[in-house]
Amino acid sequence: MEIKIYTSGVKTEWDNFVRESKNGTFLFYRDFIEYHGNRFNDYSLLFYEKGKLVALMPGHIEDKVFYSHRGLTYGGLIMNAETKAKDILSAFEYLTVTFRHQGIKKIVYKAIPHIYHSQPAEEDLYALFRYKASITASNISSAIYLPERIKYSELRRRGVKKAAKNGLTVSRSEDYEAFWPILSANLLERYDKQPVHTLDEITYLNSKFPDNIHLFTVQDTQNKVIAGCLIFETHQVAHIQYIAASDAGKAQGATDLLVDHIVNTAYPGKKYFDYGVSTENGGEYLNESLIHQKEGFGARGIVYNTYTINLQR
């Protein structure tokens, strides 16, 4: 096994491997990883077995800890159909030995949830067990398996009907400037936070990945944007990255209308709708009202686990 640190000279090789992988998504293309490159000391890795590339790991190092990768929602080992369990065991063996020699204290590993796999790809979970990893964060998301949906709750059905009665409409949009203030105001009020992406960053990413990043907005009868939702589309999943409504939008059922449109109209070929996590503090706190709203649409639990390997034992 040979491990190489990513450089710009292998960008094409990296992106081609992601494109042909069994668990990679557009989040792993270099143009996405590097949009916020100034925030992280990139230390992405390529794993070769007998000269053949068998896995990638986007990552960075901070305070003698290797993270895979805090700038991404998920991001463990990316594998293709030819990658075998023994390859991943070898990757972890070489990685742990090398990092110990370099004085790295821990490996913090964010596994890719199975709904994003196009083929079975959990060889890494077995290797994590073998290398004594512990689960150090567990965030629960809510997803709908679209071919066999659970019925909406009565409250959610009433919300969709209210929106229709109020004459609200949903459309695909490029009007990020109208949506971002609504989103920012919501996050500031509820969580005292700003969006992870600035308006400039998200418009840049949309220009790079127009087939994967989509904005849907809700308009009232005066054609004013009162709600919106940003979708990250991958091969099998429509994932809500952001969703928010103004006070007027909330009162008129705009959020319910948005979700109903995404689930039933916008992505007829997808297997999953991922509504996002409802936890904070690494999963220690569950926002019960938030997950209850998502479960009202028939969404059920998908876990985003983070594992840690202590290299100082």
CATH of the domain at 93: 3.40.630.30
Spell out, as residue ranges, where the chain has pLDDT lower than 70. Answer: none
Residues 120 and 161 in one domain: no
pTM above 0.85, yes or no: yes
Does residue 124 sit within a domain? yes
Residues 152 and 112 in one domain: no
Q: Which of 131, 164, 197 is the C-terminal boundary of a domain?
A: 131
Q: Which of 87, 109, 131 is the C-terminal boundary of a domain?
A: 131
- pLDDT value for 313: 74
How far apart (Å, rounded) are the C-alpha atoms in residues 228 and 174? 11
- pLDDT value for 71: 86
Q: Which of 106, 131, 156 is the C-terminal boundary of a domain?
A: 131
- Tell me the per-residue pLDDT of 76-128, one tens digit each, with 9 for 90 and over: 999 999 999 999 999 999 999 999 999 999 999 999 999 999 999 999 999 99
What b-and-e string marks burial along 27-50, b requiring 16 or more CB atoms within 10 Å of the CB?
bbbbebbbbeeeebebbbbbbebe
Does residue 136 sit within a domain? no
Domain ranges, residue 186: 143-303
Helix/strand/coil for 176:
helix
Residues 149 and 285 in one domain: yes
- pLDDT value for 37: 72
Does residue 309 sit within a domain? no
Residues 121 and 243 in one domain: no
Does residue 289 sit within a domain? yes
- pLDDT value for 212: 98
Residues 124 and 168 in one domain: no
- Tell me the per-residue pLDDT of 236-260, one tens digit each, with 9 for 90 and over: 999 999 999 999 999 999 999 999 9
- pLDDT value for 38: 76
Find the largest Cα–Cα distance for the chain: 65
- pLDDT value for 304: 97
**Cα dist from 286 to 3, 115, 244, 273, 291, whole Å:** 39, 21, 19, 20, 8
What's the structural domain count of the chain?
A: 2
Residues 6 and 112 in one domain: yes
Q: Does an H or E element contain 51, and which?
A: none
